[in-house]
Amino acid sequence: MKFNNFKRSLRKVYIALACTLLSISFLFVIRRLLLRLLFGAHVGNNVSVHSNVYIYNIGGLSIGANSTINYGSYLDNRGGLLIGSNVNISHNVRIYTMGHNIHTAQFESMTKRVVIEDDVWVFPNSILMPGIKLEKGAVVLPGSVVVRDVLAMEIVGGNPAEKKGVRKVEAGYKLDNNIWCAR
């Protein structure tokens, strides 16, 4: 029992050190390399991970090409996290893949993978809960709490997030957020 606690503590120290290295690296190309080497992540070309991004757990993380993870975001990767191509995760977004079963006496933890498909835009200060899927072209408005899947091209907002509309055209942009001096 003590050995397992020690192993768990060492893993937490490793993740904290890896996140610190990720945050203090000032070049996006170095951050992509660190994600691949230290976190075992699949990272596409031209991915921008800004500073002060915290990734909880190693392995199973996938970020598609031309995607951006902005300053202060929290990526809980314990249940698996798939982020497609050309996705913008704005600053201070929280993505959770683990929670607790509130309907049991033991309050057991449970993990559920989060999937974010291509061309999705998640605005600042939003929260994505375990097990949700954001389909291609979905938009999550600022400060939203997403507790259910969001259909393709759907715009959602609020707490809990509800449908506010539908995008009228498919994304025609290519994200390139390798901004110098971005935090």
**CA angle at residue 103 from 98 to 107, to 5 degrees?**
55
pTM here is 0.85
Over residues 10-45, the pLDDT tens digits come to 877 877 777 777 777 777 788 888 888 888 889 999
Sketch the domain layout of the chain as residue ranges.
2-166
Burial of 55 (0-12, 13-18, 19+ CB in 10 A): buried
Over residues 150-171, the pLDDT tens digits come to 999 999 999 999 999 999 987 7
Over residues 78-89, the pLDDT tens digits come to 999 999 999 999
Domain 2-166 CATH class label: mainly beta
H or E stretch covering 17: helix 2-24
pLDDT score of 167: 93
**Residue 3, pLDDT above cutoff 70:** no
Q: Whole-angstrom Cα distance, residue 85 to residue 103?
A: 36
